[in-house]
Structure 1
Amino acid sequence: MTTSIKSSKSVNAAAVATFLIFGMNGLVFASWAARIPAVTEALSLTSGQMGTLLLCTAVGSLLALPSAGWVVGRIGTANTVRVAGIVAGAAGAAIAFSLMAASVPATAIALFFFGVGIGLWDVAQNIEGADVEHRLKRTIMPQFHAAFSGGAFVGALIGAGLSKLGVGLPAHLLVIAAIAVALALTVPKFFLPHEVAETHDDGAPLEKGPAAWRDGRTLLIGVVVLGATLTEGAGNDWIAKATVDGLGATESTGALLFALFVAAMTLMRFLGGKAIDKFGRVAVLRASMAAAAAGLALFVFADNVFLAGVGAALWGIGAALAFPMGMSAAADDPKHAAARVSVVSTIGYVAFLAGPPLLGYLGDHTGIHMALLAIGAPILLALLLAGVAKPLRTK
């Protein structure tokens, strides 16, 4: 009985720690993203030049993601978060000093390593979240992703507030970097213990990255997550502008509809776990993609702000759960969770980073409002492939 109580307490402590790590990851990312205009001004860059600079972060993340599973397999999730936190924190400080020096090359290098740190951190926290979910025997992954969204929201508010107060970005980044490193070094001590040897307890070999890339189910889950991340990324980047361009609304109205999208998504992530436990992962995934498709269509074809707002909210509800469910599905077999979560994360983040800019290019020809319909295809593909997320039976 005593052992059971201790085990329950350790899992609950790990759940709280994972929640905090997800939230901090979102806060760190948004603290940078919310003040990109300040970077553009400090370095005297055009929008196009700033876009090129931002690719450094994307390249860093995309190079880190495929190897993150191997890193977790070697040193465990707790140590991976610690390493990632140090890398991201050091990179944040380097960005601050680079901005002080007004050096574009130094900022580019710092952003690359910032992307590496965030990518490693993301995969490690998802693997830990999946492990906690297995131990709790109930769905909690969407709540962890809600913590990320909440952290990002707080980070954006802090960035906006400090900008209004005239606090410089370098000082802001140095403080955030210090907090990130402190939390990354201390909070993971409450994570669950992980096997980091070349084999698991039963002698089964750890799955390597290349093997995971050849696993059919993992790749199909990646396609489902690709549809989900395109849905979320397109909403994040283009709802506000599409509202202004398509309906002739004001910028504040566009921002309000974007806020509605984010609020609906965050709320659904907090509440969606119970629905997944009651109706099953596949049924909720199908319902999510159907809601996303319906919300997207309503938003695009609405002839007034009210209907567009309903569409944005429905779109957010549909986009909320697919990514965390994809992470859970990839981690169904704990023996192969690290490598497979790394693969699915990589596929998802390629879409998340590359999809919105491609929609922008398409929008130059069709208008961004109608260009959003292009994500209907991957949404429907994810709907058709939802059955691959059916939980595996493992010993």
Structure 2
Amino acid sequence: MAQSSASAAPSEPLDRAAVIAWRNALFVIFALCGLGLASWVARVPAVRDALGVSLEQMGVLIFGIAAGSIVGLLASSHVIARFGTRTTMTWLLLGAGIGLSVAGLGATFGPSFAVIFAGLALFGICTGMTDVAMNVSGAANERLLGRATMPIFHAFFSFGTIVGAALGALAEFLDLPIAVHMIAISVLIVVAVLVAVRSLRSEHLVADGEEPIPVDDHSKTWRGRLSIWRDPRTILIGLIILGMAFAEGSANDWLGLAMVDGHGVSNATGAVVFGVFVTAMTVGRLLGVRLLDRFGRVPVLRGSAALAAVGLLIVIFGPTPGVAIVGSVLWGLGSALGFPVGMSAAADDPRTAAARVSAVATIGYFAFLVGPPLIGFLAEQVGILNSLLVVLVLVAVSGIVSYAAREPRATETKPAEPRPAGSRGPVA
């Protein structure tokens, strides 16, 4: 099943039906990643109770996913260059299911801190590599569709997290053992993956009957793929993703607590406000594709950064909880498009897509590693609401460097047009 980047897959029929089936398969892949992560997160309190450990120790345990993800992201371009995105997603999602099952077993039998950590690290490594592979594949599919689709892919990740959280709540209500829950989710992931990958296509394909996209020489070696880090555009796109990932991640970690401690609402209301943020971000991803198609990446990214900044300012300085909730909506809408659009921009050149997406994703995930402790430290010094000003600074940086995500000149001068079913070339 291995596929080398040096010898891309042969041409395959790529009519409208094939491209749409590929897109739908990626919807499933993105949703499954969200489902797996949220399923585990929903049971974290139960895991803490089973282990009987402190919050500090739980922080170390949860770090297993983040650490594994960074390892996976750094290795992803080399794995994809050797095997291709389709094979990478297939095997790595199977590995993610195994990691999830191991963590569930460790939380139920023993329980064992070490076994849980090992399972979460494996889950993180596999999902980190899958993250890059599915974004590279999604960018290739997006080029063939001839319109912005990446935000919708990421919206399906959000849908997966919603379903995972709901199933986790149901498992808690039924007092389902963590091992049974995680194994059931893993089986669901495995079955869905084996069905979905049948519709995936090689990221090297460009259109029906055309030659596969070649891979330039520097992408054929480890040293060559790492050289993508010396490209200023890689760093600038990484900063776009870093700022928006920080905006998204800080809300995930701190918005509920900021509403409780900063605006005096109840714990339940804080949870509802977080739900409002997630819903706004999902809606922003679904509706944002029309804005991207009409105005292009740079104006939309600048507008998104401005919207997120206004939302943050309202949450931080809003006089009442009701006003702060309005701010959380704007914050969510503004945070919606930065990460997926940055991924699209990183994959503009299909010859270096895997290496660049891996690099910018690593920069973006740095926000998820550093963000929680940084804001926590600042919150101890200046208060939870004022600590969010650091997010505002990074969002501003993201907006300033958004020009780096500009579409390639070929896209600007000759936009893709819809093609009828069965025609050759890009599909609308």
Could you say which TM-score interval applies, normalised by the shorter chain? over 0.9
- 1:183 alignment partner in structure 2: 192
For residues 382 and 340 of structure 2, the distance between their equivalents in structure 1, rounded to whole angstroms, comes to: 32
2:186 maps to a residue whose letter is: A
- 1:204 alignment partner in structure 2: 216
- 1:333 alignment partner in structure 2: 349
For residues 321 and 6 of structure 1, the distance between their equivalents in structure 2, rounded to whole angstroms, comes to: 28
SS at match of 1:166: coil
- 1:90 alignment partner in structure 2: 98
1:274 aligned to which of 290, 308, 323? 290
Deviations 1:134-178 (CA, angstroms, capped at 9, x unpaired): 000000100000000110011011101110121111110010111
- 1:101 alignment partner in structure 2: 110
2:403 aligned to which of 362, 367, 387? 387
SS at match of 2:388: helix
Q: Where do 1:1-395 residues align within 5 Å? A: 7-99=15-107, 100-195=109-204, 201-202=213-214, 204-205=216-217, 207=219, 208-393=224-409
Q: Which moved more, 1:67-76 or 1:139-148?
A: 67-76
SS at match of 2:202: coil
- When the two structures are superposed, what TM-score results if normalisation uses the length of structure 1? 0.95
SS at match of 1:391: coil
For residues 215 and 314 of structure 2, the distance between their equivalents in structure 1, rounded to whole angstroms, comes to: 53
Q: Which moved more, 1:74-83 or 1:93-102?
A: 93-102
1:24 CA displacement: 0.7
Confirm or deny: 8 A CA contact 1:230 1:356 kept in the other structure. no
For residues 177 and 225 of structure 2, the distance between their equivalents in structure 1, rounded to whole angstroms, comes to: 42
5+ long unaligned stretches in structure 1: none
1:83 CA displacement: 1.4
Aligned length in residues? 391
For residues 376 and 302 of structure 1, the distance between their equivalents in structure 2, rounded to whole angstroms, comes to: 15
RMSD: 1.9
Q: Which moved more, 1:257-266 or 1:66-75?
A: 66-75
For residues 356 and 213 of structure 1, the distance between their equivalents in structure 2, rounded to whole angstroms, comes to: 26
Confirm or deny: 8 A CA contact 1:206 1:335 kept in the other structure. no
Deviations 1:65-111 (CA, angstroms, capped at 9, x unpaired): 01112211211111111111121111111112212121111111111
1:370 CA displacement: 1.4
Instruction: Decide which structure has greater helix share.
Output: 1
- When the two structures are superposed, what TM-score results if normalisation uses the length of structure 2? 0.88
For residues 215 and 147 of structure 1, the distance between their equivalents in structure 2, rounded to whole angstroms, comes to: 31
5+ long unaligned stretches in structure 2: 1-10, 206-211, 412-428
For residues 47 and 202 of structure 1, the distance between their equivalents in structure 2, rounded to whole angstroms, comes to: 50
Deviations 1:159-199 (CA, angstroms, capped at 9, x unpaired): 01110121111110010111112222331121122449xxx
For residues 246 and 131 of structure 2, the distance between their equivalents in structure 1, rounded to whole angstroms, comes to: 18
For residues 192 and 217 of structure 2, the distance between their equivalents in structure 1, rounded to whole angstroms, comes to: 32
1:204 CA displacement: 3.1
Q: Which moved more, 1:306-315 or 1:352-361?
A: 352-361
1:202 CA displacement: 4.6
1:85 maps to a residue whose letter is: L
Distance change in 2, residues 1:194/1:322 (3 Å): closer
Confirm or deny: 8 A CA contact 2:33 2:127 kept in the other structure. yes
